[in-house]
Structure formats: structure tokens, C-alpha cells
Amino acid sequence: MMSLAQLRTQLERTFSPLACECAVTGEHSLTIKLYHPVTGQVDLVVSGLNMTRLQTPESIATLLEELRYELESNSLQRPDPVV
């Protein structure tokens, strides 16, 4: 399984120039926040992801694609996209 630090690094690489925060609760529930590092404007927050399901490169790739889709969907509704 990928460590939280490795996941955060992968997310920041994938969604650059956005920064990322990852937090896990005791129930292995992951929250990911993607935000603009200068302004602090939050572009996407996803909660309730099951950390135990993020064990393979394929599952990480699927997560990245889903986050990309959500981020693009959010950007379409924002008048001045940050990304």
C-alpha cells in the first residue's frame, strides 16, 4: 500500500500547480484537499475514500482519473479557473 506521503506527492505531481493535503481517520477513511498554494483557494475536497482500496498502481490511477474528472467538472462552473 502506498504511504500517505507518497500519495500526496503523486497527487501534487499530477495536479500541479495545486497543492494537496491528505488526512486519514482511524477508520482508514481518506480525505483529499486540492488547493491553490498561494491564495489558499480550495478547488476540490473529497472525503470518505477507503485507504485499504488504494493498494495497487491501478487503483491509484483510477483515483487520479476520478479526481481529475471532479476537478474539471468544478472548473467548468467557476468563472475564473485556477488550474
How much is the mean pLDDT over the chain?
A: 86
pLDDT confidence bin for 83, thresholds 50/70/90: very low
Query: Can you give 12-61 as a three-state secondary structure string?
Result: HHHCCCCEEEEEECCCCEEEEEEECCCCCCEEEEEEEEEHHHCCCHHHHH
**Are residues 67 and 34 in contact, defined by beta-carbon separation less than 8 angstroms?**
yes
User: What average pLDDT does this structure show over 19-40?
Assistant: 91
pLDDT computed for residue 76 by the predictor: 56
pLDDT confidence bin for 80, thresholds 50/70/90: low
Asked if residue 66 has pLDDT above 50, the reply is yes
Q: Which residue has the higher pLDDT, 33 or 2?
A: 33
Query: Where do the structural domains in the chain lie, given as residue ranges?
Result: 4-77
